[in-house]
């Protein structure tokens, strides 16, 4: 068998570097990764939504919180929805700011987004504390807390990401050309927002 | 460009060998870690298989009690699928895909390391049930409500859930990494339709993992909530639905089957052309068939649930049977690749031929099971056990061994011994058929799966005994394999860069490749850049004088490179 | 050639007997015939493909020193279309015949001869005859017997009170899951008409926990008259007519003892009349008693348990009794006038 010999040469190294550089065209690799990760998250929530609809279809009797517990607080949930949707706007304003290279505005908008996110989580925890039924109280309790709880956990994850972005922004680490982390976190934040609109619609509106 | 020689600062780079492997983010080292880790789990799950087969050799309970037996087959299935076959093929993909693409590494090297290290952690948790009063014992499918806390009290099932969730996270992160690598890291000239088939199968597999595994994770979390926090997803007494678990599990579980088999098909599609000295017949048809299998796999899950009476039989039966079409196309493509080739029956080629001849049987029995009336008789019998082992073992595991023999020279610089390899193959092949072919008949005559014992009056004793003998033959065949690996490490035949006269880019670098993979890349004009380098367009050489021409051509090209 | 041929020949020989049991129900016959069609298609594909692989390995093997490249064939649209059509046609045939049979398997009669509520639980069965007012239960040692009339449609309504189970009688060629879908949940149904009297062994086919393998039962198919008498006896609380109860005098004592042995080498029995053997298993493995060169084969006895076998009348002569699980355990049986 003939072995094909290849010897190291500077030209070849340039070619190998070109292979890396090739990844530079189009969307940054990190954002591709984030989009793919979000796709898998979509399927995760699709699974949870499926359990919700299945429980609703097979559960005997009236669908809703167990007898004796409070009804769901629709006005509070609507306010929380407005807060989260607003935070998506503030996030996007931050992204547009840094695309222009305006790091000052990025700090401002990111801080506002983070504040709104924390407000949302606080509101949700308050809601849990007054509902008067738990995850073990019938299949409605189970799917309600699982869906809203896992969504809340994702908001928390997004808030951690926002904190990191804010900390890095405060150190001046972003610029108009270099802000992939801001774009990635904003994608994730929008995704979390969209999931909440789904959760809100099926649990609170589609009764 | 001015050249300066950089002296490595010897002390600064001296790191312990162990620390180097534990902290590596090099896709090649991570790939090797995957493969070694997978084989460890393979041996553990193989021992469990021998426990199962020993118990079933003759009627009566001789070696283990029912509970131990149930743990054994549950762990065997879980470990083999989630911690051996998938990670082993992921390991080869990790090592080979960047090389095949002409890339210096995966897209996200650190995430790559994370997704590997979650595996031994998750696998350890799944196994640790044995230390805490017994491992999970509900079958790898974990059907509700048997898995509820009422019927399975032990912590083993919780550890199974947590471990599988971690393994699932590892798969998802790995899938993100593979897709990003394939879309963003290809060398110039490496267009999508010049990618090796193995890369295509890894791409489709990664898509399936990315979209199916999270659904399973949702189901596992629901199960965990049911068991530990009083949830009632699957509890019919308060409005839950045990069938929901089967839907979630198989919505993931059937794409999972293709996750397990597609990369093995990719391996075989690399090996057959190299050792037939021909290109893969119908490259594009093969790619589209792979994509078609990936798409169809989303609409067939309920064929595992025909006897539940809860699914629409004609739809799922039809969609399942449809999968036979792209699979058939692949089979014909492989056969046409052999046709008028010049076959070299090396060990990787033997395992690849073993793959297509055994996977055929698993495919045929799969189509038989797609017919609901036949499934009503065969569901949950040993016929299904035979079918799934012909797909997973005759298919995927043969693929894993084919990949091992094929790429071992690239990974270590040394070629595994052919004589020992052939001894391994033949004992393995005969043992495999002796172990699993009789199971078809056992299932047809009504032996249910997952039984610890059977009646001596049922007439199942001889076939079961034969099957046990076969299982031990498979175990014995691993001995020459291990001897071969160890001996080759110590004193193997040096492989050179390209021992098989391969077609794809991994053979264009040294064995093992340097940390940055390539010093130089050949031009990429087809899906066989290396073949092109040696033979031009390769519309070859029927007459000796043509051959001479080609050889001189070859020398020129080689000279041109150096 | 031989080393590839031998295992494949072995496979071929085994394939020769790859059939389900002879069907004892009407739907079972339909399933059996469907299976024959599918098996024929499967064997054609199997022989053609494996045959081609063998042919290619032999015919196209590279000779030593042959460095000429074969023709580099990349594809051929015509043949690729042909071999896309072939599996498509097979798939449609298979789907068509399956749907026809499915219609027969799923057909429900307006007025079944008997309707039985089958309830599964860990790890046994209850058979309830609602109309007749009879309930049949059993145990692992003595599996419950479902009495049914032959030649009439039998409808089973299947439910579980705990985990999933499945009702499976191999000789009927059908099975269905028993699933706990809550008190008012949907229940699966199964309907079949048995064609021959006899007893048919069945067992749970869906894994249901530790003693899944012990969840066996028997279907006893009998004439309508026998069936009516059987159920009447159960309703009256009497032992049903066809099971056991024969008087056979003082039983012969036989025991299995440690390390696969009987406690006696020789026993005697009278010729021309039924006799009983009381068999005690003191060993750690299960045992039974059968008589070599006869059809006689007793039920298994688990370690620590005992059983009374009713042996049929035998002609005078010398016989050998043995454990059918461990054929090395033997003893002499002398039947005298």
Which of B331, B371, B542 is closest, CB to CB, to C34? B371
Q: Closest Cα of chain B to C48: distance in Å? A: 11
* Spatial contact of B248 and B219, defined as CB atoms under 8 Å apart: yes
SS3 of chain A: helix, strand, coil, percent, to 5: 75, 0, 25
pLDDT at residue B561, as a whole number: 37
Residue C181 with chain A: CB contacts under 8 Å: 58
What are the residue ranges in chain B where pLDDT is below 70? 1-15, 536-562
DSSP state letter for B307: G
Q: Tokens standing for B320? A: 């399942």
Which of B60, B150, B239 is closest, CB to CB, to C325? B60
- Segment A96-101 mean pLDDT: 94
pLDDT at residue C170, as a whole number: 95
Q: How far apart are CA B556 and CA A45, in angstroms?
A: 59
Which of A2, A40, A142 is closest, CB to CB, to B232? A142
> Is A6 within 8 Å of B185 when comparing Cβ atoms?
no
pLDDT at residue B539, as a whole number: 47
Q: How far apart are CA C49 and CA C54, in angstroms?
A: 9
Does residue A60 sit at the C interface (CB-CB below 8 Å)? yes
- Segment A60-89 mean pLDDT: 89
> Is B377 within 8 Å of C179 when comparing Cβ atoms?
no
Q: How many CA atoms lie within 13 A of B322 on its CB side?
A: 16
Q: Residue A95: pLDDT above 80? A: yes
pLDDT at residue C9, as a whole number: 57
For residue B208, the surrounding DSSP H or E stretch is helix B197-228
Q: Which other chains touch chain A, taking contact as 3+ CB pairs less than 8 Å apart?
A: B, C
pLDDT band for position A131 (cuts 50, 70, 90): confident
The per-residue b/e assignment along C231-242, b for 16 or more CB within 10 angstroms, e otherwise, is bebbeeeeebee
* Spatial contact of B406 and B271, defined as CB atoms under 8 Å apart: yes
Residue C143 with chain B: CB contacts under 8 Å: none
Q: Output the DSSP codes for B133-202.
A: T----STTTT-TTTTSTTT--SHHHHHHHHHHHHHHHHHHHHHHHHHHHHHH-PPTT--GGGS-HHHHHH
The number of C-beta contacts closer than 8 angstroms across A and B is 197
The beta-strand segments (E) located in chain A are none
Q: How far apart are CA C138 and CA B149, in angstroms?
A: 27
pLDDT at residue C136, as a whole number: 92
Supply φ then ψ for residue B73, to 5 degrees.
-75, -30
Q: For chain C, what is the largest distance between any 2 Cα atoms, rounded to a whole number of angstroms?
A: 89
| Beta-bridge partners for C291 | C321
pLDDT at residue C182, as a whole number: 84
* Spatial contact of A142 and A130, defined as CB atoms under 8 Å apart: no
pLDDT at residue B262, as a whole number: 96
Closest CA to B61 of B52, B71, B50: B52
* Spatial contact of C165 and C215, defined as CB atoms under 8 Å apart: yes
Q: How far apart are CA B99 and CA B497, in angstroms?
A: 13
Q: Tokens standing for B308? A: 């539940």
For residue A39, the surrounding DSSP H or E stretch is helix A29-58
pLDDT at residue A7, as a whole number: 40
Q: How far apart are CA C327 and CA C289, in angstroms?
A: 10
- Look over chain A and give the mean of its residue pLDDT values, rounded to a whole number: 87
> Is B247 within 8 Å of A54 when comparing Cβ atoms?
yes
Q: Residue A5: pLDDT above 60? A: no
Q: Tokens standing for B382? A: 């040993």
Burial of A32 (C-beta count, 10 Å sphere; 0-12/13-18/19+): buried
List Cα–Cα distances, A62 to A139, B238, C184, C186, in angstroms: 12, 12, 15, 19
Q: How far apart are CA B443 and CA B458, in angstroms?
A: 12
pLDDT tens, A138-153?
889 999 999 999 999 9
| Least confident piece of the model among A4-13, A177-186, B17-26, C52-61 | A4-13
DSSP state letter for B81: I
Mean pLDDT in consecutive groups of 10 residues from the start of chain C, 337 residues: 55 66 93 93 93 94 87 89 92 94 91 93 93 88 92 95 95 94 88 93 94 94 92 85 54 83 85 80 86 80 80 83 86 85
DSSP state letter for B449: T
Give the sign of the dihedral formed by CA B483, CA B485, CA B487, CA B493: positive
Which of B70, B276, B329 is closest, CB to CB, to C84? B329
Among B446, B474, B540, which would you mutate to test the C interface (most chain C Cβ atoms within 10 Å of its Cβ)? B446
Residue B365 with chain C: CB contacts under 8 Å: 42
Q: How many CA atoms lie within 13 A of B101 on its CB side?
A: 31
The beta-strand segments (E) located in chain C are 114-121, 124-129, 134-137, 145-149, 153-160, 165-169, 174-178, 188-193, 198-204, 216-222, 252-257, 261-262, 266-270, 275-281, 290-291, 306-311, 317-322, 330-336
> Is C91 within 8 Å of B314 when comparing Cβ atoms?
no
> Is B373 within 8 Å of C176 when comparing Cβ atoms?
no
* Spatial contact of B479 and B512, defined as CB atoms under 8 Å apart: no
Rounded (10°) CA dihedral C77, C81, C82, C86: 150
Burial of B288 (C-beta count, 10 Å sphere; 0-12/13-18/19+): middle
> Is C49 within 8 Å of B360 when comparing Cβ atoms?
yes
Pick the residue from chain A with its C-alpha nearest to B246. A51
* Spatial contact of B190 and A19, defined as CB atoms under 8 Å apart: no
| Beta-bridge partners for C306 | C280
pLDDT at residue C13, as a whole number: 55
Q: How far apart are CA A77 and CA A197, in angstroms?
A: 11
Q: For chain A, what is the largest distance between any 2 Cα atoms, rounded to a whole number of angstroms?
A: 83
Which of C7, C57, C90 is closest, CB to CB, to B343? C57
* Spatial contact of B395 and B355, defined as CB atoms under 8 Å apart: yes
Rounded to two decimals, the pTM is 0.85
pLDDT band for position A2 (cuts 50, 70, 90): very low
Q: How far apart are CA B81 and CA B77, in angstroms?
A: 6
Q: Tokens standing for A102? A: 């305006």
End-to-end CA distance of chain C: 62
Pick the residue from chain A with its C-alpha nearest to B107. A29
Residue C51 with chain B: CB contacts under 8 Å: none
Does residue C259 sit at the A interface (CB-CB below 8 Å)? no
| Beta-bridge partners for C166 | C177
List Cα–Cα distances, B212 to B105, B296, B323, B524, in angstroms: 26, 13, 18, 34
Length of chain C: 337
Q: Tokens standing for C205? A: 């086919």
Q: How many of the other CB atoms lie within 10 Å of CB of A72?
A: 16
* Spatial contact of B400 and B89, defined as CB atoms under 8 Å apart: yes
H-state helical runs in B339-460: 347-369, 372-378, 382-391, 398-412, 418-444
């Amino acid at each position: 068998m003939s072995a094909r010999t290849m010897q190291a040469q500077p030209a070849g190294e340039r070619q190998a570097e070109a292979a890396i550089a090739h990844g530079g065209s189009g969307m940054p690799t990190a954002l591709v990764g984030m989009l793919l990760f979000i796709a898998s998250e979509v399927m995760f929530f699709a699974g949870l939504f499926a359990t919700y609809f299945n429980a609703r279809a097979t559960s005997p009797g009236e669908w809703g919180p167990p007898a004796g517990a409070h009804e769901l607080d629709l006005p509070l949930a609507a306010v929380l929805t407005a807060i989260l949707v607003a935070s998506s706007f503030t996030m996007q304003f931050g992204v547009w700011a840094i695309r222009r290279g305006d790091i000052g505005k990025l700090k401002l908008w990111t801080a506002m987004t983070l504040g709104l996110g924390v407000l949302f989580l606080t509101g949700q925890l308050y809601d849990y504390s007054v509902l008067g039924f738990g995850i073990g109280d019938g299949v409605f309790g189970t799917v309600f807390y699982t869906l809203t709880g896992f969504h809340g956990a994702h908001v928390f994850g997004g808030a951690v990401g926002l904190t990191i972005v804010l900390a890095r922004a405060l150190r001046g680490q972003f610029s108009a050309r270099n802000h992939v982390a801001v774009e990635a976190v904003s994608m994730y934040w929008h995704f979390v927002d969209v999931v909440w609109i789904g959760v809100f619609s099926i649990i609170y509106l589609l009764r | 460009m001015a050249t300066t020689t950089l002296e490595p600062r010897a002390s600064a780079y001296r790191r312990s060998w162990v620390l180097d492997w534990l902290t590596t983010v090099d896709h090649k080292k991570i790939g090797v870690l995957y493969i070694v880790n997978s084989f460890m789990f393979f041996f553990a799950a193989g021992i469990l298989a021998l426990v199962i087969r020993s118990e079933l050799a003759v009627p009566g309970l001789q070696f283990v009690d029912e509970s131990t037996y149930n743990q054994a087959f549950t762990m065997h299935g879980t470990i083999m699928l989630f911690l051996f076959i998938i990670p082993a093929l992921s390991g080869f993909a990790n090592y080979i895909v960047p090389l095949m693409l002409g890339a210096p590494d995966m897209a996200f090297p650190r995430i790559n390391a994370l997704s590997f290290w979650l595996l031994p952690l998750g696998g350890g948790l799944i196994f640790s049930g044995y230390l805490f009063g017994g491992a999970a014992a509900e079958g790898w499918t974990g059907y509700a409500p048997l898995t509820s806390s009422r019927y399975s009290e032990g912590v083993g099932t919780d550890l199974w859930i947590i471990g599988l969730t971690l393994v699932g996270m590892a798969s998802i992160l790995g899938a993100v990494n593979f897709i990003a690598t394939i879309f963003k890291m290809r060398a110039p000239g490496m267009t999508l339709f010049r990618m090796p088939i193995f890369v295509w199968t890894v791409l489709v597999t990664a898509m399936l993992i990315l979209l199916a595994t999270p659904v399973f994770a949702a189901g596992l979390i629901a199960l965990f909530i049911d068991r530990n926090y009083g949830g009632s997803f699957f509890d019919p007494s308060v409005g839950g639905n045990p069938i929901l678990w089967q839907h979630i599990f198989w919505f993931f579980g059937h794409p999972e089957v293709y996750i397990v088999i597609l990369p093995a098909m990719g391996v075989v599609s690399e090996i057959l052309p190299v050792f037939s000295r021909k290109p893969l017949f119908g490259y594009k048809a093969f790619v589209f068939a792979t994509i078609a299998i990936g798409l169809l796999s989303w609409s067939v899950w309920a064929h595992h649930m025909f006897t539940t009476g809860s699914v629409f039989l004609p739809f799922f039966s039809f969609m399942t049977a449809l999968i036979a079409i792209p699979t058939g196309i692949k089979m014909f493509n492989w056969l046409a690749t052999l046709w008028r080739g010049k076959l070299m029956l090396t060990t990787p080629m033997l395992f690849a031929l073993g793959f297509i001849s055994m996977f055929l049987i698993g495919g045929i029995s799969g189509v038989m099971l797609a017919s609901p009336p036949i499934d009503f008789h065969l569901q949950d019998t040993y016929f299904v056990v035979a079918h799934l082992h012909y797909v997973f073992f005759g298919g995927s595991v043969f693929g894993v061994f084919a990949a091992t023999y094929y790429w071992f020279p690239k990974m270590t610089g040394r070629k595994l011994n052919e004589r020992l390899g052939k001894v391994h193959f033949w004992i393995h092949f005969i043992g495999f058929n002796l172990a699993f072919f009789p199971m078809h008949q056992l299932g047809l005559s009504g032996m249910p799966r997952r039984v610890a014992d059977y009646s001596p009056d049922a007439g199942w004793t001889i076939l079961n005994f034969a099957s046990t003998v076969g299982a031990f033959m498979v175990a014995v065949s691993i001995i020459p394999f291990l001897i071969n690996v160890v001996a080759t490490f110590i004193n193997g035949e040096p492989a050179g860069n390209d021992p098989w006269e391969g077609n794809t880019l991994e053979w264009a670098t040294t064995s093992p490749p340097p940390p940055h993979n390539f010093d130089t890349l050949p031009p990429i004009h087809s899906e066989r850049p290396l073949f092109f380098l040696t033979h031009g367009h390769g519309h070859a050489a029927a007459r000796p004088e043509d051959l001479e021409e080609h050889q001189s051509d070859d020398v020129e090209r080689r000279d041109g490179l150096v | 050639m031989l080393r590839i041929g031998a295992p494949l020949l072995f496979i071929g020989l085994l394939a020769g007997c790859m059939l389900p049991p002879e069907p004892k129900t009407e739907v079972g016959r339909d399933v059996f015939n469907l299976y024959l069609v599918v098996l024929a298609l499967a064997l054609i594909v199997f022989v053609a493909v494996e045959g081609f692989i063998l042919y290619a390995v032999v015919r196209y093997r590279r000779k030593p020193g042959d460095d000429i490249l074969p023709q580099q064939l990349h594809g051929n649209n015509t043949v690729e279309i042909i071999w896309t059509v072939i599996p498509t046609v097979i798939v449609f045939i298979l789907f068509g015949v399956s749907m026809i049979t499915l219609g027969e398997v799923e057909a429900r009669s307006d007025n079944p001869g008997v309707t039985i509520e089958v309830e599964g639980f860990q790890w046994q069965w209850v058979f309830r005859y609602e109309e007749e007012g009879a309930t049949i239960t059993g145990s692992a040692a003595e599996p419950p017997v479902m009495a049914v009339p032959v030649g009439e449609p039998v409808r089973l309504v299947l439910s579980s009170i705990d985990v999933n189970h499945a009702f499976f009688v191999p000789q009927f060629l059908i099975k269905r899951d028993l699933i706990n879908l809550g008190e008012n949940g949907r229940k699966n149904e199964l309907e079949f008409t048995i064609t021959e009297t006899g007893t048919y062994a069945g067992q749970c086919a869906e894994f249901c926990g530790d003693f899944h393998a012990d969840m066996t039962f028997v279907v006893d198919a009998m004439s309508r008259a026998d069936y009516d008498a059987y159920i009447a006896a159960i309703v009256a609380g009497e032992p049903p007519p066809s099971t056991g109860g024969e008087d056979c005098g003082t039983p012969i004592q036989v025991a299995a003892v440690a390390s696969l042995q009987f406690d006696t080498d020789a026993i005697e029995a009278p010729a021309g009349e039924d006799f009983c053997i009381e068999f005690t298993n003191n060993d750690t493995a299960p045992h039974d008693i059968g008589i070599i060169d006869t059809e006689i084969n007793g039920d298994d006895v688990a370690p620590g348990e005992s059983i009374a076998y009713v042996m049929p009348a035998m002609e005078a002569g010398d016989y050998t009794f043995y454990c059918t699980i461990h054929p090395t355990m033997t003893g002499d049986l002398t039947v005298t006038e």
